[in-house]
Structure 1
């Protein structure tokens, strides 16, 4: 089964699906540097793939077009990064949530970029306070912080043609706690000349496929739990859902 994409539907078809209780899943990504070997769309690619897998596994899910921009100010020192900043992203998500709620009774944001966590948390909190049914989820368990082994493996699994392994080199591999003050003060450029936090050495499509399968199962289980008929809304903190401390450093884009 393939996912139902919002952009492929007509408005009467959307109305029919919404009346049946569909969940709108919104992939939330970023356009930011991922070292010299990965495309700038990496976070958006991961979020979109996870939402597509969710939609294929759960027919009640309709997948919205991805939001390809996020809060990526920590990567401003690298060409190509396009950041909305935290305030603008929060406002975008609030307005998007309000608009989506006019049609869909349930809304899910799936964020592939840890820097979106703080504005996403604030937006979800406000939307819930307004009486809307909203949840947010982000992947967990990444081996290193940024453009390292995990993200390189994921992108190899998604489309190896878009990975330049010949240019893949380790970046700053110190423990993240050691470099966090420098990251907060000066962004990734302050600690890593190539934009990598971690080591992509050893990345493989096989490892990426296994990681992706695990993330897909975790997302489906999350949706089954939080959108169950007897589920009660609970606090969801996307800022703590991905092992990527630089993305929760509080730097605005």
Structure 2
């Protein structure tokens, strides 16, 4: 099955197989520093979803991405377009109720940490409604938080013409728990005037290709072998319940 045949949006309705697995990429439209495009999370989530579909086989479809998420922590930066956590929860619930009338298992692949609270709340309700639904994050080794080396490498691989590498600059460098209170109180601008949480130095397209492969392999394993935690996230074991990812997957609830 070709990549195009995996894309739900390009099919006519008679071409949809009976009860396919549907993967829904979920990202955001938000600032990613002065050097990366606003749709970075959506690009990454879509690429991981497409790579996973290719790995799993011809019974998988990739839905058009959810390109707006809960990004209030970035709202002080121009270009950010957030729908908030409550709206995201409602969107996911209604989308799954619709998809479930013809689809089989539904998996959301999430690339933005601010979506976690709304996505988890939606999936918990949908599981209670007996929908076959789960979500998973985009995970790779050696990650930083936001618009740093990992995301820069991924976009250099996936959409190199959108990277303004000459503008790249290091932002706050350190673990998320150290800055989470400030983030919740004042958003990303309170800890990083550039919007970067990490350091893009050393990013490369080759590293982006490697990271994308790690993310796709991890997602495939979670789908085939994982179990869902109490928030509906697919995990391989309890040690992965709070994974390191390319963007903060903290259970924030920013508007």
- Provide TM-score, normalisation by structure 2: 0.90
Deviation at 1:76, TM superposition (A): 0.4
Give unmatched runs, 5+ long, in structure 1.
227-231
| Number of equivalenced pairs | 244
| Counterpart among 32, 35, 48 of residue 34 in structure 1 | 32
State yes or no: 1:149 paired with 2:145.
Answer: no
Q: Does 1:237 align with 2:225?
A: no
Compute the displacement of 1:240 (Å): 3.0
C-alpha distance 174-138 of structure 1, shift in aligned 2 (>3 A): closer
Where does residue 181 of structure 1 map in the other structure?
181
Query: Within 1, Cα distance between the matches of 2:135 and 2:207?
Result: 26
What does the per-residue CA deviation read over 1:36-58, in whole Å, with 9 as the maximum and x for residues that have no partner?
Answer: 00000000000101111122222
Aligned to 1:229: none
Match of 1:210, SS? helix
Q: CA RMSD in A?
A: 1.9
Kindly indicate whether residue 246 of structure 2 is the aligned counterpart of residue 250 of structure 1: no
Q: Within the alignment, does 1:6 sit opposite 2:8 as a pair?
A: yes
Map 1:35-184 → 2, pairs under 5 A: 35-57=33-55, 58-141=57-140, 143-184=143-184
Alpha-carbon contact 2:112-2:248 (below 8 Å) kept:
no
Q: Which deviates the most, 144-153 or 213-222? A: 213-222
Gaps of 5+ in 2: 235-240
- CA change 1:246–1:48 in 2 (3 A) is closer
Q: Check whether the contact 1:72–1:82 (CA below 8 A) recurs between aligned residues.
A: yes
Match of 2:237 in 1: none
Change (3 A) 1:13 1:164: same
> Using a 3 Å threshold, how does the CA distance of structure 1 residues 70 and 158 change in structure 2: closer, same or farther?
same
- Quote the Cα distance in structure 1 between the aligned partners of 2:217 and 2:36: 25
**Partners in 2 of 1:127 and 1:80 — Cα distance?**
32
Quote how far apart the aligned CAs of 1:233 are: 5.9
What residue in structure 1 maps to residue 20 of structure 2? 22
Shift of 1:130: 0.4
Compute the displacement of 1:7 (Å).
1.1
Structure 1 position 247, deviation (Å): 4.9
C-alpha distance in structure 1 between counterparts of 2:167 and 2:39, whole Å: 17
TM-score w.r.t. structure 1 length? Answer: 0.90
Aligned partner of residue 47 in structure 2, secondary structure: helix
